């Protein structure tokens, strides 16, 4: 049962898991995430979705050619655009550990375009915002992205944006609560 009053769909009760749910739960929990929380737990209502999404998520999180700092930047932008507090809570610390500037993180949280010293950070931010806001990038941004990042990193970035859109939609539609006993939201959907 959910402890969060607004949550629409809590994770299934582990005592009622069928064999496939238990198998997927154990696979996720034993991997680099170290547990099954948030949207991944909600996906256990459909264990095949959970299995496939977590495989894509593992790739997007740990195996792309993007530097972790750039990956976390794209994830934070996605969380901000969607107003997904849970996503923000998880990835703010990862972004700091990966070397993203606290100033950049705060600007993103405040929905301001940061001033970037690094052209790769700037293009990841710009592609991420454009992808979510217009669902495309113009020719000039595409050319800049391929020049700065390269084709392989751009393909990984687009895949990552798609995956974290799935995460954000799951968080928002099922009202997955922020972590903690009584968290105060940092983001809004405005």
pLDDT at 18: 94
**What pLDDT, in 10s, does the model give residues 13-52?**
999 999 999 999 998 888 777 778 889 999 999 999 999 9
Confidence check: pLDDT of 108 > 50: yes
Residue 184 pLDDT greater than 90, yes or no? no
- Cα–Cα distance measured from residue 161 to residue 137, given in angstroms and rounded to the nearest whole number: 13
Residues 6+ apart with CB under 8 A from 178: 85, 86, 89, 185
DSSP states of the chain = --SSTT-SSPPPPGGG--HHHHHHHHHHHTSTT-S--HHHHHHTTSHHHHHHHHHHHHHHHHTSSS-HHHHHHHHHHHHHHHT-HHHHHHHHHHHHHHT--HHHHHHHHTT-PPPPSSHHHHHHHHHHHHHHHTSS--HHHHHHHHHHT-HHHHHHHHHHHHHHHHHHHHHHHTTPPPSSSSPPP-----
CATH superfamily entry for domain 68-171: AhpD-like (1.20.1290.10)
pLDDT for 126-176, tens place per residue? 999 999 999 999 999 999 999 999 999 999 999 999 999 999 999 999 999
Higher pLDDT, 184 or 63: 63
The reported pLDDT for the residue numbered 113 is: 97
- The tens digit of pLDDT for each residue in 57-92 reads 989 989 999 999 999 999 999 999 999 988 888 899
Separation of alpha carbons 106 and 88, rounded Å: 11
What percent of the chain has a predicted confidence (pLDDT) above 90?
Answer: 74
Checking if the pLDDT of 189 tops 70, the result is no
Query: How many whole angstroms separate alpha carbon 104 and alpha carbon 131?
Result: 19
What was the pLDDT predicted at 68?
96
Where exactly are the structural domains of the chain? 68-171
Q: Are 153 and 160 in contact (CB under 8 A)?
A: no
The model's pTM is: 0.88
Does the pLDDT at position 188 exceed 80? no
- What are phi and psi for residue 172, nearest 5 degrees? -75, -45
């Amino acid at each position: 049962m959910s402890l969060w009053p607004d949550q629409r769909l809590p994770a299934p009760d582990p005592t009622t898991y069928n064999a496939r749910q238990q198998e997927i739960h154990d696979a996720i929990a034993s991997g680099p995430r170290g547990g099954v929380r948030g949207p991944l737990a909600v996906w256990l209502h459909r264990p095949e979705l959970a299995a496939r999404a977590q495989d894509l998520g593992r790739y997007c999180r740990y195996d792309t050619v993007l530097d972790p700092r750039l990956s976390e930047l794209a994830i934070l932008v996605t969380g901000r655009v969607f107003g997904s507090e849970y996503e923000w809570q998880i990835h703010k610390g990862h972004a700091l550990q990966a070397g993203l500037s606290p100033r950049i993180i705060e600007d993103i949280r405040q929905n301001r375009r940061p001033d970037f010293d690094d052209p790769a950070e700037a293009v990841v931010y710009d592609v991420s915002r454009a992808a979510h806001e217009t669902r495309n990038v113009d020719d000039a941004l595409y050319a800049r992205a391929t020049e700065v990042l390269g084709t392989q990193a751009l393909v990984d970035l687009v895949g990552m944006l798609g995956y974290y859109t799935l995460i954000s939609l799951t968080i928002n539609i099922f009202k997955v609560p922020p972590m903690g006993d009584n968290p105060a939201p940092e983001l809004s959907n405005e």
